Chains A and B, each alone.
Chain A
C-alpha cells in the first residue's frame, strides 16, 4: 500500500518542543514526521536530500535566521510548503513570513488537531 500522508519536517531550536511535536503529530496519523532539527544547516541538508512536503518552522530564533530559512526553503520551484509556527504573534512578523513564502502563520496552541487542520488546509 502506498502511503499518501504528507511528509513533514520540524525546525525548532527548543529540543523538548521538537520531540513533543513530532510525537503528538505522528499519533494523529495524517502526516508522517520524517525528521527534525535545531540547526539551519542540518535542516537545509535534510530538505534538499529527503522528500519533504511540509516544513513546520518556529520563526523566532536566537540567531535571527527564522525568516531567512523560510525564504531559502521556499525558493526552489518544487519547494515544500512552509508552515510558520510561533509562540507569540506580531503583525509585522506575520506579514514578513508571508512575504518570505510561508503558507500559514500559526500560533503554538495545545490543540494538535487544530494545528494539523491548519497544516493540511494551507495553500501550497
Chain B
C-alpha cells in the first residue's frame, strides 16, 4: 500500500551534505551485518575489503593480515583488474607505508602517498596511486590486520568522513575476524576432540572386550600399536606388575630396537622411569632421555639406538598401578599436556583390561580348585564311605563265619547289595562329571538327552514333557541354568533317591516358566535336616537364584522329591 503513495519525498531535492552521511551510515550498517553472515575467515576478510572499497568509493582496496613477525600472512585486494594484478611482481612485503600503519597502530590519510617520507615506492608494474587511507584493525589492542584504500574516486583525497567510516568498519571487522578465528579454533578443537573420543571409545571397547576375552597379550599389542600410530612413536612397551610383588616386568615391545628395550629385564617400584610411574601413579616424560633419570637405571642401549624422548603412563585399576605403558621417540619429541592426558586416559582403560584378565585367571584357578574339592567331597559322601561300610561288614561277616554262619551269610548278602549300589553311584557320578553337552539353542532337546542318558546309566525310568517351542524361546543364560539344574537333580536322584521313576517337565504356568524334576524315591525329611541338603541341592538353589528364579525342593521320607524352579515372567538373569 505504501508504494501507491505519491513519492513526494523522493522528488524533493535535498542538500547533498545532509543526505550523504545517513545514507553512508546505512551502508556501513548493512556492510557490518554482512560480515557475520558466514564464519569462514577467508569469506569474512573478503567482505571487509569489499565493504571498505564501496563505502569510500576508492578504486583500490586491500586488507593485510600480519603474520606476527613483521610481515604479512595474507593480503587481499579489491579493484585490481586481472591484468593489473598479473603485472604486480609480488605481494607487499610489509615495509613502507603498510609497515607504518602496522607499527604506529594509527590511521594514515594522505593526498599523495608517494610523497610520504616512509613511502618505499611501488614495484615495477604496480598501478599508480596517489590518495591513500590506511586504517589498522585491532582487537583487544592487538593488531589483527590493516585496511588500505587508494585512489578516492571523485575527490583528490579521502575525506575525514571516509576515515571515520572506515575506522568504524575496522572495529566491526576486528570483531568479525576474532569471531572467525574462534570459530576456526572451535572447529579444529572439535575435530581433535572427535578424534580423541574415537580413541577413548576404542580403549573403552577394548577393555569391555577383555571381560570376555582372556588373552591379555594380543589385546595389549593391539592397543600399543594403535597408540603408537596415533602418536607416531617409533617404539612402545608395556610393563606389568608381577603378581604379589613390587616388581614390574616387560611383557610387550613393539616397534624399533626391540633388543635394546628388552635389555632391562625388570624395574622395582621407584626404580627408573617405569618404577617412578609405578610409585607416583602419574605420567612421566622427557625429551632428553640421555640426561633424564638416575644413570644406573638408564637403558643405555635405548639411548644408543637414537631414542631421545620417552613418555611413560600408569595402567591403573582401582587406584592401583598394575602396569606401565611407554612410548619412545627418536630424537626430540615435545609432548603437549593434552597428549599426556589422552595417554593417561588410555592407561586407565588398559589398566582395567589388565585387571580384568588377572581376575579372570584367578577365577578360573579358583573354579578348578573348587571343582577338585567338590569331586573329593562327592567321592567321600558316596563312594568311599559306602565301600568302607561294605568292607567293615565283610570283616564282621568273616569273624562270624564260624560262630554264627547264618548271620555271616546275611551280612555278606548285604555287603554284595551295597557294592552293587556303589557301582550305580559311580556310574551316576561319572554321568555327573561328564562335560555338559548342552544343545545350544533348545533346552527341551537338552532335557531329552539328559533323560536318555539317565535312563541308560541308572535303569530308572525317565519321562520328559515340554511345552512346544518353550525350550527355544528362553534366554541362553536361562537355558543353560535350567539344563544344569536338571542335570544336578538327576545326579542326586541317581546317587541318593533309590527311585524307580523320574518325571521331567518344562512348561509355562501363569506366565511363569516352570521346570520340575520329580522322583518317586525314598525322599528325605527336609524340615529335620536342612543342613543335610548336600552340594547338589545347594547348587540347584544357587543356580536358580542366579537367574532370578524361585527354587522349591519338596520332599518327605518315603514320598520322593520334587524340585521346582519357577522363573517369573519378565525377570532378567542377573
- Contact of B380 with A88 in the complex, beta carbons under 8 Å: yes
Q: How far is the CB of A91 from chain B (nearest CB, A)?
A: 14
CA distance A107 to B377 in the complex (A): 15
Q: Confirm or deny: B384 has a beta carbon within 8 angstroms of a beta carbon on chain A.
A: yes
Q: Which of the segments A9-17, A48-56, A75-83, A95-103 contacts the partner chain?
A: A9-17
Give the residue of A12, A21, A60 whose beta carbon is less than 8 angstroms from that of B377: A60
- Contact of B396 with A20 in the complex, beta carbons under 8 Å: yes
A60: chain B residues at CB < 8 Å are 377, 380
- Contact of B418 with A16 in the complex, beta carbons under 8 Å: yes
Number of B positions contacting A (CB below 8 A):
24
Complex interface bits, A54-83 against B, C-beta within 8 A gives 1, otherwise 0: 000010101101000000000000000000
Give the residue of B376, B391, B393, B532 whose beta carbon is less than 8 angstroms from that of A63: B532
Give the residue of A38, A40, A63, A110 whose beta carbon is less than 8 angstroms from that of B388: A110
Instruction: State whether A24 and B377 are in contact (beta carbons under 8 Å apart), knowing that A14-B389, A65-B531 are contacts in the complex.
Output: no
CA distance A119 to B331 in the complex (A): 80
B73: chain A residues at CB < 8 Å are none
A21: chain B residues at CB < 8 Å are 392
CA distance A13 to B531 in the complex (A): 11
Q: How far is the CB of A85 from chain B (nearest CB, A)?
A: 9
Q: Confirm or deny: B399 has a beta carbon within 8 angstroms of a beta carbon on chain A.
A: yes
A108: chain B residues at CB < 8 Å are 384-385, 388
B376, B385, B529 — which one has the most chain A CB atoms within 10 A of its CB?
A: B385
B392, B395, B533 — which one has the most chain A CB atoms within 10 A of its CB?
A: B392
B386: chain A residues at CB < 8 Å are 14, 16
Within 8 A of A (CB), among B377-407: 377, 379-381, 384-386, 388-393, 395-396, 399
| Contacts across chains A and B counted by CB atoms under 8 Å | 67
Give the residue of B384, B533, B534 whose beta carbon is less than 8 angstroms from that of A88: B384
Number of A positions contacting B (CB below 8 A):
24
A65: chain B residues at CB < 8 Å are 531
- Nearest to B532 among chain A residues (CB) is A62
Q: How far is the CB of B421 from chain A (nearest CB, A)?
A: 10
Q: Confirm or deny: B535 has a beta carbon within 8 angstroms of a beta carbon on chain A.
A: yes
Within 8 A of A (CB), among B485-534: 529, 531-534
Q: Confirm or deny: A112 has a beta carbon within 8 angstroms of a beta carbon on chain B.
A: yes
CA distance A57 to B396 in the complex (A): 21
- Contact of B377 with A17 in the complex, beta carbons under 8 Å: no
Give the residue of A24, A40, A87 whose beta carbon is less than 8 angstroms from that of B380: A87
Instruction: Point out residues on A near B: beta carbons under 8 Å.
Output: 12-14, 16-17, 19-21, 23-24, 27, 38-40, 58, 60, 62-63, 65, 87-88, 108, 110, 112
Can you list 28 A-B pairs with a CB-CB distance of less than 8 A?
Answer: A14-B381, A14-B386, A14-B389, A16-B386, A16-B418, A17-B385, A17-B392, A20-B388, A20-B396, A21-B392, A23-B393, A24-B392, A24-B395, A27-B396, A27-B399, A38-B532, A58-B385, A60-B377, A62-B381, A62-B533, A62-B535, A63-B531, A63-B532, A87-B380, A88-B376, A88-B384, A108-B388, A110-B391
